[in-house]
Amino acid sequence: MTSPLLGPVDIRALAAELGVRPTKTLGQNFLHDANTIRRIVRSAELTPGERVLEIGPGLGSLTLGLLEAGHPVTAVEIDPVLAQALPRTVDARLPGAPLTTVGADALRLLELPEPAPTALVANLPYNVAVPVVLHLLATFPSLRSGLVMVQSEVADRLVAPPGSRTYGVPSVKAAWFAAATRAGAVGRAVFWPAPNVDSALVRLVRHEPPTTAATRQQVFAVVDAAFAQRRKTLRSALAGWAGSPAAAEELLRGAGIDPQARGETLGVADYARLAGVAVNR
């Protein structure tokens, strides 16, 4: 039997047939390498028959890989031409495969058709990758794990531990929801058109957020304030958030954090504790 996956010739033919000219704005770089697609599906470590949420199915490269491996897919695509064509592409190559297509902007998604997907697997549009991951983890508690392809530098930020050079707001916020690890690099030649950045896979496994009296929004507000001036001491960087440098120092001491420390040395549990002290003051 021939493979249902889309190779370089299929991708170009399909794009031509649909009149699709890939845009940078929507991060449209389509996968045309069966080995990479199967590697992504394997790296996702899905349970048999697990339903997957795919963001940005594009021409259907990864969608077909997931369906081929026996996973029902809920696919969310912002481009109406691509969203409309996807069921036809799948029907032609894997007739009757369990696909649900939603034409929508992933950043505005507030509900999904039942049954709820429990894993996120996506080759994400690079310019909105972090907001999309954070929005989905916040909005859909059914998602227990994820495997996302992002720009290599973004992967570094998502998985960075406190104190490392690439640690920042995305690292702390992702750590609120999940443990993030790098799951390998992906070259440029497996895409059409080839992007001008390298890519990497990030695996996410949801965990309980840190215990705190503060809400997630309150914790994230402290994180944003601390990293807005990341070279400053927390006493100074958090002055605006706390009301004054002295108030910031008092809250930091209350949470057992050195006021002279910098935001990049704190883990998500420290931020959660600090926000909790501020709520109870």
Chain residues that interact with ligand SAM, rule: CB under 6 A: 26-31, 55-58, 61-62, 76-79, 82, 105-107, 123, 125, 128
Q: Any bridge partners for residue 147, and if so which?
A: 121, 203
Residue closer to ligand SAM (CB basis): 78 or 94 = 78
Q: CA dist 82 to 30, 68, 254, Å?
A: 12, 20, 53
We find the least distance from the C-beta atom of residue 162 to ligand SAM, in angstroms, to be 30
Q: Give the type of residue at 197.
A: V
We find the least distance from the C-beta atom of residue 194 to ligand SAM, in angstroms, to be 12
We find the least distance from the C-beta atom of residue 123 to ligand SAM, in angstroms, to be 3
Identify the DSSP state of 189.
Answer: T
Asked if omega into 162 is within 30° of 0 (cis), the reply is no
Residue closer to ligand SAM (CB basis): 107 or 279 = 107
Identify the DSSP state of 108.
Answer: G
CB of 77 closer than 8 Å to CB of 58: yes
Residue closer to ligand SAM (CB basis): 121 or 248 = 121
Give the helix ranges, DSSP H, for the chain: 8-18, 34-43, 61-68, 80-93, 129-139, 152-159, 169-177, 216-228, 234-237, 239-242, 245-254, 268-279
Residue number, nearest CB to ligand SAM: 56
Return the ∠ at Cα 27 (arms to 88 and 45), rounded to 5°: 70
CB of 185 closer than 8 Å to CB of 199: yes
Identify the DSSP state of 262.
Answer: B
CB of 234 closer than 8 Å to CB of 261: yes
Residue closer to ligand SAM (CB basis): 32 or 273 = 32
Give the helix ranges, DSSP H, for 72-183: 80-93, 129-139, 152-159, 169-177
We find the least distance from the C-beta atom of residue 137 to ligand SAM, in angstroms, to be 15
We find the least distance from the C-beta atom of residue 17 to ligand SAM, in angstroms, to be 16
Q: CA dist 28 to 20, 32, 61, Å?
A: 10, 13, 12
Residue closer to ligand SAM (CB basis): 23 or 244 = 23
Residue closer to ligand SAM (CB basis): 40 or 223 = 40
Residue closer to ligand SAM (CB basis): 63 or 233 = 63
We find the least distance from the C-beta atom of residue 61 to ligand SAM, in angstroms, to be 4
We find the least distance from the C-beta atom of residue 59 to ligand SAM, in angstroms, to be 6
